[in-house]
Amino acid sequence: MKTTENILIIDLEATCWDNRPPRGQESEIIEIGVCIMNAKTGKVSQNEGILIKPQYSKVSPFCTELTTLTQNMLDNEGIMLDDAFDILRAEYDSEELTWASYGNYDLNMLQDQARRFYVDYPLSDDHINVKTLFGEIHPTVRKSVGMQRALNELGFKLDGTHHRGVDDARNIAKILHWCLQNN
């Protein structure tokens, strides 16, 4: 596993529904939660949630209940996906740093959305799947578990609101730092 001194942590939130999406709508990124974690110390910096305006879907009541994000918030505070990718490159050195997410969903979704919207993929090829790494390293958990369960297993408190990218990125950093210290 290649790591840089600082690791970019990303957690996405996307439009979602309690059943199938309405006709013509599909899952789209609505928040890129991001932070930088120092691989040695675990110190987190530059933590933010970049809100994205969905192009083909609306935020459902189910999605708002899960994430606390509303269509109004995204309409007023959200930016276009390509602008968000530009922020990752300019402010987070995203094309150079090793980056991590909890599972492969974020990796796949970012690649899919870059293709779908014809924008350049903003991240390096050096990705750490924290969910898999945790399952490989933890002495008693030998399978993939959710982020909240991983935090509980380590005795860490969930900071902030679960299913908000800005908060989950910080929580993932705690798990990743434990993994790096115990690998």
Q: What is the pLDDT of residues 29-82, one digit of tens each?
A: 999 999 999 999 999 999 999 999 999 999 999 999 999 999 999 999 999 999
Residue 1, in any domain of the structure: no
| Residue 108, pLDDT score | 98
**CA atoms of 109 and 143, how far apart (whole Å):** 23
Residue 55, in any domain of the structure: yes
Instruction: Give the dihedral sign, CA 4/49/60/83.
Output: negative
Give me the CATH number covering residue 53: 3.30.420.10
Rounded percentage of the chain residues whose pLDDT exceeds 90? 94
The structure tokens listed for 89 are 């490159």
Residue 99, in any domain of the structure: yes
pLDDT at position 16 over 90: yes
Domain range holding 113?
A: 6-182
| Residue 5, pLDDT score | 95
**CA atoms of 97 and 124, how far apart (whole Å):** 6
**What is the domain count for the chain?**
1
pLDDT at position 183 over 80: yes
**CA atoms of 7 and 170, how far apart (whole Å):** 12
Residue 81, in any domain of the structure: yes
Closest CA relative to residue 14, chosen from 152, 168, 174, 180? 168
| Residue 149, pLDDT score | 96
At 105-143, the pLDDT tens digits run 999 999 999 999 999 999 999 999 999 999 999 988 878
| Residue 162, pLDDT score | 96
| HSE of 152, CA atoms in CB hemisphere, 13 A | 6
pLDDT at position 181 over 70: yes
CB atoms within 10 A of CB 158: 15
| Residue 1, pLDDT score | 65
**CA atoms of 16 and 10, how far apart (whole Å):** 19
The structure tokens listed for 129 are 């799947």
